[in-house]
Structure 1
Amino acid sequence: MNLQVTTHSEDQTFLLGRALGAVLRPGDFLSLDGELGAGKTRLVRGMVGGAGLPTAAVNSPTYVIAQEYTLGSISAGEKTNGGGASSLRIVHVDAYRLRGVDELESVGWDALISSQESPLHRPIVLIEWADRIERALPKGDTRGSIRISHDGDGGPDDSTRVFDITLPASWKARPEWVEFEKVTSVMNEPNAVPETDRGVAQPAKRGSTICPITGKLVPPDSPTYPFTDERARMADLSRWLSGGYVVSREITAEDLDEVGPGESA
């Protein structure tokens, strides 16, 4: 099953990853390829978040080759294929510095791909620069792949990316697939409102968008647009009040000139 998705900002790349991360199950492998700076690690950060792990710990493991993120105990049916509780793990591999599959032994590769372990206890494996270890990757319906390419003017501010995604057809049966499909379709809409435009009234032309808090689809006529619901709106407000958001530039002299008498910046 093949699909192509275009994102126009780093935030959208993160949201795409988050939607896909919710689909992943123990034992899944996802290979990621693209040039340096393509957005592989940002996509991984989104996928880890989509699986339920705080994303602050996610960085490219170039020098350590592999990092493991644990999500704690979850109940059957949430992120497993049934059969009891599971401690979900995500292993993030960066094969950039590897010279061949022989060096995979240092990260315990044989254990990662072993079919002897119960499916509930296998990790989700996300592999950057996977083309360098192609011979070692498993085949079948547990593996997907993503190739990322630039699709803009190539300038320093260009954040447009094209994701060519190949996933097993069996993944469509997973409950989270419906939401993933909605997210990808919105990102491919030419008139989709970017999540960075929230707060700007566009009643006549605005399209469906993706909630910056939940990552779910929000229709243009939603009373809480661009948020999924009132709870998401309040969570966004809380981030502003707690300092979770910051202004993207310093205050300038021109800004101060706009402050009226008796007011303060």
Structure 2
Amino acid sequence: MKLKDAAATLALGRKLAKALKPGDVVTLSGELSAGKTTLVRGLLAGLGYAGEVPSPSFAIVQPYESLSPPVWHVDLYRIDNPSDLDELGLEEICGDGVLIVEWPEHTGRDAWPHALALSLAVAEDGTRALTAEVPTAWEGRWPPR
């Protein structure tokens, strides 16, 4: 899927929000400035969040518990060891809310085998190419409408 600009990335995030349900995990991969956090901003806006959406690079986990479903935005860029993931308590979150994980490759592919795995790549013309690995749980929900 091609995303022409930041507005298209935000729009995709808003559509994705409509497909989410408790227990979902969405992983976002791509180089720095590929549009991962922009996609999350659109997703949160689609769920009704009107505040600022910072990249959680330093906080690692940014909760949005007032949303329905609640969302936890996670940035694993600073995680060096997959065992560090245990200390974040993300497993408890997954049942009640939605987990959005940037940089999932920092913990290995096995951390979220049932996640909708999205990857963004920047083309020379500045557009973004989005690819998706769609697990069985997401069939019929991806691509979002």
Query: TM-score, structure 1 length as denominator?
Result: 0.50
Q: Distance in 2 between matches of 1:108 and 1:162?
A: 32
Equivalent residues of 1:8, 1:161 under 8 A apart: yes
Aligned partner of 1:149 in structure 2 is 121
Structure 1 residues without counterparts, runs of 5 or longer: 73-86, 114-118, 182-265
Would the alpha carbon gap of residues 167 and 51 (structure 1) be closer, same or farther in structure 2, given more than 3 Å must change?
farther
Deviations 1:88-127 (A, max 9, x none): 21000000000112212332124235xxxxx5xx110000
Q: Distance in 2 between matches of 1:7 and 1:147?
A: 12
Shift of 1:46: 0.8
Q: How does 1:157-168 map to 2 (within 5 A)?
A: 158=126, 160-168=127-135
Aligned partner of 2:66 in structure 1 is 71
Equivalent residues of 2:116, 2:138 under 8 A apart: no
Q: How does 1:1-265 map to 2 (within 5 A)?
A: 5-54=1-50, 56-72=51-67, 88-113=69-94, 119=95, 122-135=96-109, 137-140=111-114, 143-153=115-125, 158=126, 160-173=127-140, 180-181=144-145
Deviations 1:155-207 (A, max 9, x none): xxx3x100001223443445xx68x24xxxxxxxxxxxxxxxxxxxxxxxxxx
Q: % of aligned pairs identical?
A: 32
- RMSD between superposed Cα atoms in Å: 2.1
Say which one has the larger Rg: 1
State the AA in 2 paired with 1:16.
L
Shift of 1:136: 5.3
Shift of 1:18: 0.9
Would the alpha carbon gap of residues 32 and 100 (structure 1) be closer, same or farther in structure 2, given more than 3 Å must change?
same
State the AA in 2 paired with 1:107.
L
